[in-house]
Structure 1
Amino acid sequence: MSASDPAKMPGPITFAVPFYRGLEYLARTVASVAAQTAPEWRLLVCDDSPGGDAERVLDCRDERVRYVRNGRTLGMAGNWNRCLDLADTDLVTLLHADDELLPEYTQVIRAGAAAFPDCAALFCGARVIGPTGEPVFSFVDWVKRVLAPVGRRPRRLSGHRALARLLRVNSIMCPTVCYRRNVIGPRRFDPRWRCVLDLAFFARVLADGDELVGLPDVAYAYRRHAENATAGYTQSLLKFVEEAALYDEWAAEGAARGWSAVARAGRSKVMVRLHLVFRALQDVARCHFAAAWPKAQLLARLSAPDIG
C-alpha cells in the first residue's frame, strides 16, 4: 500500500496535552500544533493544574481545539489516561506541555500509520532542545543513539526479543509516540509509576504480542530544562529507583515465561547503572560530593549480586 494514497490515509491525529504547569512553554507547544504543515489534527488540553490556567493560551474559536479542566488533580498517569479516554480520534499523541512539534509531525505520523495499519503505536526521532529552544547535549540521549542507532527505514518492534532490546536500551522518546486507540484498547498507564509509566506501557504492549513502529524521521523537539518533571525525578533518584523496580518485575516475568533474554535484561539494568555512574561522576567533577554519595550507594545496591 502507498502511504501517500489519500484513500488509505487514517483520520486526523489528536494532540492531547496533559497540562499541569508552565504556561510559557504551553504557549509554544500550542503554536507548534497550529504550525503543522498538514491540517488533519485536533488539539485537546486536559488541565490538571490547581488554577486551571491553560485555557488562557488556547484559541477555542478553532473548532479543532478543545479544553477540559479536571475536577480534581489526577496526577501524571491519571491525566495521561484521561487524555486517551477523551480523545475522539483513533490516533492520539500525548504531546508534553513543554515540548514542540516540528512542522511535519502530523504528515510523518499519518503516513506511518497508513503504512503500518495494525501497529499499536508509532514513534519518531526527536531533537533535544533547552528552555529557549536552543540545541542542548543530553548524555542519556547520546548513549541511546550510539547503542540503538536510528536507521533509514522504519523499525518494527514486536515479541519478547524486542522487549529484551527495549529493556537493554529504551530508544523510544516517549512524547513522540502516537497511540492507536483501536489497538491498545483498554490498556492504560499504570498509576503505580511516576517516572517509568511510559516504559512500563511499551513493555506490556510488546509482551502482549502487539507491535510498535519507529519511524526514522526527526519530527519532534523534546525540551530538557530544570523545571521538567523528569529532571526533578532524576535529581531525587526516584527515576532510578522506579526503573530498578520495573526491571526487577520484568526479570521475574521473563524467567516465568521462559524469555531468557528478557530476564537477563531485567537483571542487568545496564542503562540504569550507566546513567547513575554518569550522574555521580558529574557531581564529583563539580565537587558536589554530598550529591554523588547517594547515587554511589544506590549503584552499589543495584550492582550487588542477587542471592535470592
Structure 2
Amino acid sequence: MSLCIPAYQAERHLQATLDSVLAQSYDDFEVVVVDNNSSDRTAQIVAGVRDERVRVVRNRETLPIAENFNRAVRQSRGRYVKLICADDTIEPDCVAEQVRVMDANPDVVLVSVRTDFIDDAGDVLRPAKGLRGIVGLQSAQQTVRRVIRSGTNPIGPPVAALFRRAEFDRCGGFRGDLLFPMELDLWVRMIQHGDFYGVPKTLASFRIGSGSMTALTSARSQLGQQFEFVRRVVRNPCWRISTADRAIGVAAIFDKQLRRDVLFLMSSVRAARRRRIDGSAGHPDASPATHTGPRNDVRPTEDPFLEGKMQWHS
C-alpha cells in the first residue's frame, strides 16, 4: 500500500496531512512525498518526520500538476495507491476500510469514501459529500451513467479514492489537458477495466482553500472544461450514454457550478474574517502577505497550473 503526497509550497497544511497519514490503523504502507521544487518550508517539514515509512523525492524543476501527480504515483511500490494532496487529511480507519474492500473484491479497481469539505482552518463547510447513487459495488456502466447525470464528480477527489496501481499504469495516469475534471477523467478511464465500490463512511477531508487556483479561476473556464469532459465520455461508445442522461447532466452542471461558487465564497469570507480577528490581536499571520496558499506565490510569468490541486467537486 502506497500513500502518495504531491507537495508544492505546502508548508501551511503539510504537517496536518502527514500526521493524518501516519496515524492510520492499517500499518503496512509506505508514504511517498514528492516535493515539486518548493521554495517555502516544505522540505524542512518533511525532513523533520522521523518515520522509516516516509520516502521523499524532490523535483529539480517545478512540474505541471498532472506531471507531478503522475510522478508521485510512479514512485510508489505498492499494489494499491492513494494520492493525497498536501492540504487534505484522512481518518485513522480510511486506508484499512479501503484495502479491505479491494482485498475482498478482486474485480474492483477503484474504491472511494465520503468526504468532508473543510476551509483553510479545518472547519467543516459541508459534511459527508460524495457517492450519491453509487454506494456499494457498482458496475462501470452504472457508475459512469451516474457521473454524467450528476453534472459533477460523485466519485470524489483523490483523497477519497484508492486504486490499483496496475490499472493506473494501464490507462496512462492523469492527463493535463482538462485540469479541473482531471481526476474524474482518470476515474472514468480506470473503471473501463473493472468495477467501482463506494464506502458510505466519511473518512477523508478535502480542503476548499480561499486562495486556491479554482477560487481564482472563472466559472466560465470551469464550465467549459466540464462540458468538454462530458462530450468525451458521450462520444465513447462503450458507455452508451443516452440523450436523456446527457440532458439531465447538462442541467445539473450549472447547478453544481453555482454551489461550487458559494463554497469558495464561504471559504474566502471565513479566511478574511480570521485575518481581521488576528490582525486586531496583533497576530503575526494577520497580513495577507504571510499566507502561503498555492496561488499566492505565482509570479506573472509562471503557469498557474503548476500549483496546488484541482478543487471543483461538489
Q: TM-score if structure 2 supplies the norm length?
A: 0.73
Q: For residue 68 of structure 1, what is the aligned residue in structure 2? A: 57
Alignment of 1:39 onto 2:27 = yes
Residues 251 and 265 of structure 1 are in contact (CA less than 8 Å); yes or no, is this contact kept in structure 2?
A: no
Amino acid at match of 1:217: K
Residues 117-173 of structure 1 show CA distances to partners (whole Å, capped at 9, x for unaligned) of: 3321211111222211111138xx86x67xx2575xxx2232334311122223111
Match of 1:115 in 2: 104
Does residue 1:195 correspond to 2:184, yes or no? no
Q: CA deviation at 1:22?
A: 2.8
Query: What is the Cα deviation at residue 89 of structure 1?
Result: 0.7
Task: Percent identity, please.
Answer: 21
Matched, 1:157 2:138: yes
Question: Could you say if the C-alpha distance between residues 174 and 137 of structure 1 is closer, same or farther in structure 2, counting changes exceeding 3 Å?
Answer: closer
Matched, 1:211 2:191: no
- Distance, in Å, in 2 between the alignment partners of 1:62 and 1:280 is 39
Count of aligned positions:
258
In the alignment, residue 32 of structure 1 is paired with which amino acid? Answer: S
Tell me the distance in 1 between the aligned counterparts of 2:184 and 2:193. Answer: 16
Q: Identify if the C-alpha distance between structure 1 residues 270 and 115 changes in structure 2 by more than 3 Å, giving closer, same or farther.
A: farther
| Amino acid in the other structure paired with 2:165 | R
Shift in CA distance, 212/150, structure 1 to aligned 2, threshold 3 Å: closer
Q: Paired residue for 1:181? A: 165
CA–CA distance in 2 between the matches of 1:264 and 1:272? 14
When the two chains are superposed, the root-mean-square deviation of aligned CA atoms in Å is 2.7
SS in 2 for 1:112: helix
Residues 57 and 278 (structure 1), Cα distance of their counterparts in 2 relative to 1, 3 Å cut: closer
C-alpha contact (below 8 Å) 2:219/2:257 kept by paired residues: no
Residue number among 64, 67, 70 corresponding to 1:78 in the alignment: 67
Q: Which residue of 1 aligns with 2:278?
A: none
CA–CA distance in structure 1, aligned partners of residues 17 and 210 of structure 2: 18
Match of 2:86 among 91, 94, 97: 97
Amino acid in the other structure paired with 1:218: T
Deviations 1:16-74 (A, max 9, x none): 01111231211110111122223222111111144274221124542211111112222
Cα distance change of structure 1 residues 232 and 213 upon mapping to structure 2, 3 Å threshold: farther
Query: Quick one: which of 45, 48, 51 aligns to 2:36?
Result: 48
2:206 corresponds to which residue? 222
1:26 paired residue among 14, 20, 27: 14
Structure having the higher helix fraction is 1
- Measured in 2, the distance between the counterparts of 1:121 and 1:97 equals 21
Structure 2 Cα separation of the partners of residues 135 and 258 of structure 1: 35
Within 5 Å, which residues of 2 pair with 1:216-255?
A: 216-233=200-217, 235=218, 237-254=220-237
1-structure distance, mates of 2:241, 2:49: 52
Distance 2:114 2:37 in 1: 29
Residues 52 and 69, structure 1, Cα contact 8 Å, conserved in 2: no
Tell me the SS of whatever aligns to 2:14: helix
The AA in structure 2 aligned to 1:158 is S
Deviates more, 1:45-54 or 1:66-75: 45-54
> 1:270–1:31: structure 2 CA closer, same or farther, 3 Å change rule?
same
**1:269 pairs with 2:250:** yes
Q: Does 1:172 align with 2:161?
A: no
**Does the Cα contact within 8 Å between 2:141 and 2:239 map onto a contact in 1?**
no
Q: Secondary structure at the match of 2:235?
A: helix
Supply the distance in 1 between the matched residues of 2:206 and 2:260 (Cα, whole angstroms): 20
Q: What residue ranges of structure 2 are gaps of 5+ in the alignment? A: 265-314
8 Å Cα contact 1:99/1:221 also seen in 2: yes
What's the offset of the Cα at 1:81?
0.8
Classify 1:279/1:97 alpha carbon distance in 2 versus 1 (closer, same or farther; 3 Å). closer
**Quick one: higher RCO (CA 8 Å, sep 6+), 1 or 2?**
2
Using the alignment, how far apart are the partners of 1:258 and 1:92 within structure 2? 26
